[in-house]
Amino acid sequence: MTRRLGSGSLVIATHNAGKLKEISALLEPYGLTCLSAGALGLPEPAETGTTFAQNALIKAQAAAEASGLPALADDSGLSVDALGGRPGVYTADWAERQWFEGQPGRDWFMAMGKVEGLLQQVGPDADRSCAFHCTLALAWPDGEYAVYEGTAPGTLTWPPRGELGFGYDPVFVPQGRDRTFAEIDPEEKHAISHRADAFAKLVAEQFG
């Protein structure tokens, strides 16, 4: 049987404020106090894996070992059918690191433009089917871990639409909807996102 989380503190192994907010909201009903790796001053480990699961585990295990607390990490990305599944595990790398108002960040508009540019090269009839993927890795300081995977299928649109969300959300229209992830309320997105799919599996096993 998979080890279960108790109540108390859980390190969210991210320096991304948007991701921390989403994950904290999903975990709030279960009595966990979420702390970010960034707030604890933990370094970001090199993501040297070739799969979402490998990269999520690298981050979760590093945070658990450094903090002495259970840690949860996600590795998520966009796969585009017409681009052979790219950008995939390199989704964040396509958003080159920039500095905004003195703070490190990534240029997501550049990343969205790169995806669109490649689709334009494929041609006007390029398949715009895609999916967001999320792998959650839960790690304990003693080395035990569990992995949960989720998916949200959809299509890409252009130009970007909406001011909510983060990352590639302004160009992603989830299956069965006509608005992008950046145009729908966070509560609605939480119910249908790739992260929500992975979290449903985590919750079923950890708190069910």
Q: Record the tokens describing residue 151, joined without a space.
A: 């998916």
Q: 105-108: which pairs have CB atoms within 8 A and are 24 or more residues apart? A: 108/166, 108/167, 108/168
Q: Record the tokens describing residue 103, joined without a space.
A: 């703070």
Cα 12 off chain centre by: 12
127 is known as an active-site residue: no
Count Cβ atoms below 10 Å from residue 96 Cβ, excluding itself: 12
Count Cβ atoms below 10 Å from residue 153 Cβ, excluding itself: 13
Alpha helices by DSSP H, listed for 76-168, are 108-122
Contacts of 19 (CB under 8 A, 6+ apart): 12, 74, 166
Q: Record the tokens describing residue 172, joined without a space.
A: 């992603």
Q: Among residues 75, 169, 178, 197, which one is catalytic?
A: 75
Q: Torsion angle of alpha carbons 106, 111, 113, 114, nearest 10°?
A: 140
Active-site positions? Answer: 75
